[in-house]
Chain A
Amino acid sequence: KNEVEQSPQNLTAQEGEFITINCSYSVGISALHWLQQHPGGGIVSLFMLSSGKKKHGRLIATINIQEKHSSLHITASHPRDSAVYICAVFNFGNEKLTFGTGTRLTIIP
């Protein structure tokens, strides 16, 4: 079992829909990252958070430390949001960044 689990693995939605991607982890962490990987391969860091909630434009990330769970929300989704979204946690115990396998999001016009 991976230390970081994401769901769903694949998600297809219509343009304009509200999107939620989930991340659960099983280790103690210092911080959680949400990353976006476009088809070309490049990875962009969207958020880094250790508590509460962060918002950037149409993207919202939340984390519940007690439940070891984080969600990434996209409001008013757009085809350009189509990408793989990766959750990664900075493991407090071994001081390493551990990645989930990603959620492939496709937004249909």
Chain B
Amino acid sequence: ETGVTQTPRHLVMGMTNKKSLKCEQHLGHNAMYWYKQSAKKPLELMFVYSLEERVENNSVPSRFSPECPNSSHLFLHLHTLQPEDSALYLCASSQDLPGQWTNYGYTFGSGTRLTVV
């Protein structure tokens, strides 16, 4: 356990379903991130929250909707996904705020393996 917990670990959903991914950290970190990892591709940054405020949205389709109700929790709400959205979704947190040179690095969760059928 790294300090960042993601649930569920695996998720299979139909294209018409609505589901949510959850990420939780109790490390006292200030920033939280959603990344997408597709096969044979680098991790892609999707969303960044700093002090519970969204600071970045990397042109992610609106069928992905993030929510950060407090500094310890981050959600990714999913609806009407496409099969190409099947991937590993990783949550990460960092103590430093985005844009600051970091001395502390990032802590990643174990990811949610999403399959869209």
Contact = CB atoms under 8 A, between A and B. Distances in A.
Contacts of B92: 43
Interface string B22-66: 000000000000000100111101000000000000000000000
Q: Interface SS of chain B: helix, strand, loop or mixed?
A: loop
Contacts of A86: 43
Contacts of A96: 45
A86 B112 CA distance: 18
B99 A31 contact: no
Interface string B98-111: 11011111111111
Interface stretch (A59-67, A72-80, A97-105): A97-105
A94 to B, nearest CB: 10
Interface residues of B, number: 24
The bracket for how many chain A residues form the interface is 20 to 34
Interface of A: 2, 4, 30-31, 33, 35, 40-45, 48, 86, 88, 90, 95-102
